[in-house]
A and B are shown apart, each in its own frame.
Chain A
């Protein structure tokens, strides 16, 4: 069974500083993908970054980077140079990379989210 844990219900960061949002996961599968999504107050879900379990390099997308520590089963999101527009709920998610028609391969499992507030 998959499980994603985000232990920080809320986080505050000063504008222009970096912030790390924690995510740990639990899976017995060797092949899986890790995702981060952003949900601003308007409600839509926005894809930020992806890391595959076999990727040797940590993923980066602009100001977002994913600190992937496979042995610890953690996939923390790092946002550099925070901006006011980064204030949102952030969700970590995982998906096992099975082959269809394995049902579990289709399920993207989400954590409970971290509410980030960027202070001016």
Chain B
């Protein structure tokens, strides 16, 4: 009953370093998402993947890349980390796919990854 698993939970980087946040879900969900949470700003969507093999930009994609490796896994990569990318990152998944949509498309979130860029 793991749900959505994110790794690592904590990471400290220096400016210019790269890293990848990993996310895996075991609920056979079709859609996966990466959000970032900053104080006073709620959660903002970075990238999402509606199905295996597809990815799309969200509200704040600059400085990030993603890979939907398979149906279970969706990774987020910071190629050259900047202090502005200090944040808590959440991966999420949902069942919805393709033309089948439901209003109550509930997202299941991972526990979050706290990233600090010095």
Contacts and interface: CB of A to CB of B under 8 A. Distances in A.
Interface of A: 4, 9, 31-33, 35, 43-45, 47, 50, 52-53, 91, 93, 95, 97-101, 103, 105-113
Interface of B: 31, 33, 35, 40-45, 48, 50, 56-59, 88, 90, 92, 97-99, 101, 103-112
Contact of A91 (B42, B48, B88, B111): B42
A63 B45 CA distance: 29
A52 B95 CA distance: 17
A52 B109 contact: no
Contacts of B31: 106
Contacts of A111: 42
Contact of A43 (B99, B108, B111): B111
Contacts of B33: 106, 108
B59 to A, nearest CB: 7
Contacts of A53: 103
A112 B42 contact: yes
Among all A-B residue pairs, the 9 with the closest Cβ atoms: A110-B42, A45-B109, A33-B103, A52-B103, A110-B43, A50-B104, A112-B42, A43-B112, A47-B106
